[in-house]
Amino acid sequence: MTVLEPRPGDTVPGGTAATGHRCAHPGHGTEPADAAPTAAPRPWPPADSEPVDIPDLYERLTARGMDYGPAFRLLRAAWRHGTEVYAEVPLDAPAPPATGLLMHPALLDAALHAASIPFLDRDDDATYLPFAWRGVRVHRPGATALRIRITPTEGDDLALTATDTDDRPVLCARSLLVRPVSREQLRGNGASGVLLRPEWRPLAELPARPAADEPWAFLGTDHLGITGELKATGKPFEYYSSLPTMDTALRRGAPVPSVVLVSCADGTDDADDARAEAQRCLALVQEWLTDDRLADSRLVFVTQQAQSCEPGENITSLAASVVWGLVRSSQAEQPGRFALVDIDEADGSRRALVSAVSALTGPDAVHPQLAVRHGSLLSLRLQRSRPDDTARPRRTARSHGTVVLTGGTGALGSVLARHLVERHHVERLLLLSRSGPDAPAARRLVAELGALGAHATVAACDVADASALTQVLAGLPAEHPVTTLIHAAGVTDDGAVGTLTPHRLARVMRPKVDAALALHQVCQTLPDTCELVLFSSVSGIVGGAGQANYAAANTFVDALAQHRRSHGLHAVSLAWGLWDEAGMGEQLAAADLKRMERAGISALRVSDGLALFDAALGRDDAVLVPVQLHEPALRDHSPQIPDVFRDLCPPRRHDPARPTRQTTRADATELRRTLAGLPEADRTEALQQLIRTEVAGVLALTGPDAVEPGAEFSAIGFDSLTTVDLNRRLAALTGLRLPATLLFDHRTPAALATHLLRLTQTRQD
């Protein structure tokens, strides 16, 4: 409600209780006697004003937690003139009418968007929101366009005036006091996670051809027939068709190639084939990480139609899709060692493969993964999915039908079951788990759902067994057919990729790969209207350090949903981020959560996760990514941020006089220069301090003082994942290629500092 000269206690939109003169009655009034007279027209905007980038403004507001929808993005132009801000706000024609008010709420709200401009350069991550208004007057009701002038007065206080396009006064506020609100506070007051969708985009610039003297190699069977195109480039090129690894070739005296390509089997969709492909990929990755001869070589995995690069494009090689998740996680652990490229069947795409590999492996490479379609190079980006992306509304279940929920007695399944009953009015549920009625909370959950008015049945079933699943579903009453299948079951067995075994790989893949295929098979016997909702993980798309097995399983789930959609069958795969209070998030330590935040993802609250579940239903996308982004990490564009996030948040604009961790952290060259300038006795101490600082960051400790120089890494909490994390950080800081056994060979910060100093001095010499 917008009021003219509000009374004490009245509320002005965007603020708290207002002070000022009395108005006739809320929402109406007469122009006061001391109203500002119409001024003579002035130049608009002032001649020496600097324009403000409006799209960038809204992206920066979004990054701070204020995500305005299309109907409220009314700010069309803005300028800076010294400390003042000038802006234009037209009311779009489609906006709904606001009868009985002096000013349309959307118009006033957009005027306040301009009021945020003076504060966006502050390096505090806060959004400055209206807190208190004083001296508010509306001179001319019913305006449909505003010219706004905002003048900072003192501290966080602003003066605001608005005129129409003829420079006649519309609104003025003698004082608008704003207050900073953090992203965390906004989230606690209703801000939630975000629904993303993967999108493949053409590369803006094509890479240069690789240097002619760089030796390349192709290893193993050429499943895709691409070696002929590679040889045609005239590059030094070796084809080791009968060798499973590079070790034999190198022992025979072959030169160490800068790039080694391997291709993955095409056209398979069996769970056993997917496991075999994942195990082969794992063996190659582990060889690469343990063979020092290959330390400067890049291993490139080539697949064909294992990715869906546009809506409706079929995935013909489901088995090869697991390679993408496993390698993405390996990239997260060991940047710069591995790359991925997916091609289609077009001849031009095979010819473009050399360009793709050059973009992936060259000295200026920035993309860890690419696709080639009809000869064009594409890179993967995550984009925000908005409500207007929805093509058709769908219901989770109809009242007479049954919703089948796998993992239904687990923490996440229980939360989802209650939500389906309370929010979606589901009346019948079949909850499947391996333990069935013997699960610890099964009886209590059934009782709770019954109290909410739903009939719930719990059954023991290995969902990965298609025959067992079919038998359980056959026991449902004919009058209550299956209308929705939700697959929320899963198992994790986290560890650095170098520690994984075929058994650990298979253990994690079975509840995802085999179960998803069993559900896919069962759906063939159900009505076409049956909905299939698959829960996967964002780790499969962005690469989760320490989750190569889990990521491999979940990229298969995503690919299966895309495969079904391409054949006109319903399916959606939700690649979830971490849930804070349910599911696997309960198993993570503080260091694990901090590592995820540095990669751009925070934990979802249950309420936010359920809201995103609702928002995802009914969209045309085969894969959606519901996550809670960690915007500060994204805006800093930390080196640990996955490439797919790069378009979501613009880099933070820093005041050069206010250095941050990113701007003060020395790169490898600067570190060596700094060490060289120190007395020899102080160099080890400087490296010790650097190592202790990074150790504290990895383990989420209070600071470097919490790390004793003589404390063994194993004794202070390092495991395989945190070891990989520290190794990666130190490699980035020193510019050194550090072995995976670094912390085992040098067990304390003091010993490690001595070793790194010796390596640094050797490199300088």
pLDDT digits (tens, 9 = 90+) for 242-252: 888 899 899 98
Q: Where are the beta strands (DSSP E) in 402-556?
A: 402-406, 428-433, 455-460, 482-487, 531-537
Q: Looking at the predicted structure, is the pLDDT value of residue 652 above 60?
A: no
675-696 pLDDT, tens digit each:
888 888 888 899 999 999 999 8
Q: Is 399-586+603-628 in CATH node 3.40.50.720?
A: yes
Query: Confidence class of residue 488 from pLDDT cuts 50, 70 and 90?
Result: very high
- pLDDT of 658 over the 50 cut: no
- pLDDT at position 660 over 60: no
Report the chain's C-alpha Rg in angstroms.
30
* Predicted TM-score of the model (pTM): 0.74
Between 589 and 452, where is the model more confident? 452
Does 640 score more than 60 pLDDT?
yes
Tell me the domain boundaries of the chain. 50-182, 202-383, 399-586+603-628, 662-764
Mean pLDDT of 141-163: 88
Q: How confident is the model at residue 11 (pLDDT cuts 50, 70, 90)?
A: very low
Return d(Cα 3, Cα 100) in angstroms, integer: 11
Q: What is the pLDDT of residues 361-397, one digit of tens each?
A: 876 677 899 999 999 999 999 999 865 444 444 445 4
The letter for the amino acid at 426 is V
Sign of the four-CA dihedral 288, 289, 294, 296: positive
- How distant, in Å, are the alpha carbons of 363, 668, 735, 744 from that of 760? 22, 10, 9, 19
Residue for token pair 């007395």: 679
Rounded CA separation 1/21 (Å): 17
Please list the residues that pair with 406 across neighbouring strands: 432, 487
Q: Give yes or no for a contact between 229 and 302, defined as CB atoms under 8 angstroms apart.
A: no
Give the containing element (helix H, strand E) for 342.
Answer: strand 338-343
Average pLDDT of the segment spanning 421-430? 94
Q: Are 635 and 651 a contacting pair, CB within 8 Å?
A: yes
pLDDT of residue 426: 95
50-182 shares its CATH topology with 399-586+603-628: no
β-bridge pairing 194-202 and 376-384: antiparallel
What average pLDDT does the segment 499-523 reach?
96
- Compare 34 and 74 and report the one with higher pLDDT: 74
202-383: which CATH topology? Rossmann fold (3.40.50)
Please state the rounded mean pLDDT for residues 732-738: 83
- The yes-or-no verdict on residue 26 having pLDDT over 60 is no
Mean pLDDT computed over 295-318: 94
Mean pLDDT of 421-442: 93
Neighbours of 373 (CB within 10 A): 21
User: 662-764, superfamily in CATH?
Assistant: ACP-like (1.10.1200.10)
Q: Are strands 402-406 and 376-384 parallel, antiparallel or unpaired?
A: unpaired
Q: What is the per-residue pLDDT across 194-224, written as a single tens digit (0 to 9) for each? A: 899 999 999 876 655 656 677 899 999 998 9
| % of the chain exceeding 90 in pLDDT | 46
Q: How far apart are CA 324 and CA 318, in angstroms?
A: 11
Lowest average pLDDT, out of 17-21, 449-453, 473-477, 540-544, goes to 17-21
Q: For residue 187, is pLDDT > 60?
A: no
**CA–CA separation, 709 vs 559, rounded Å?**
48
Q: How many CB atoms lie within 10 A of CB 3?
A: 25
Q: Are 432 and 623 in contact (CB under 8 A)?
A: no
Q: Amino acid letter at 707? A: V
pLDDT the model gives residue 725: 86
Report CA torsion sign: 190, 193, 197, 202.
positive
pLDDT at 740: 79
Half-sphere exposure at residue 210, Cβ-oriented, CA atoms within 13 angstroms: 25
Is the confidence at residue 657, as pLDDT, over 60? no
The H or E element spanning position 699 is helix 680-699
Average pLDDT, the chain: 83
Across 715-742, average pLDDT: 85
Can you give the pLDDT at residue 289?
A: 92
Angle of helix 720-734 versus helix 680-699 axis, rounded to 10: 140
Q: Say yes or no to pLDDT of 71 above 80.
A: no
Are 370 and 359 spatial neighbours (Cβ–Cβ below 8 Å)?
yes
Query: So what's the pLDDT on residue 509?
Result: 97
Q: Is the pLDDT of residue 555 over 50?
A: yes
* Residue 181, pLDDT score: 77
CATH code of 50-182, in short, is 3.10.129.120
Distance in angstroms (rounded) separating the CA atoms of residues 549 and 328: 11
Mean pLDDT, to the nearest integer, of 465-469? 95
- Half-sphere exposure for 145 (CA within 13 Å, toward CB): 10
Judged by average pLDDT, the poorest of 25-39, 149-163, 271-285, 352-366 is: 25-39
Strand, coil or helix: what is 450? Answer: helix
Cβ within 8 Å of residue 184, ≥6 positions away: none
Q: Which of 516, 402, 515 is nearest to 465 (CA)?
A: 515
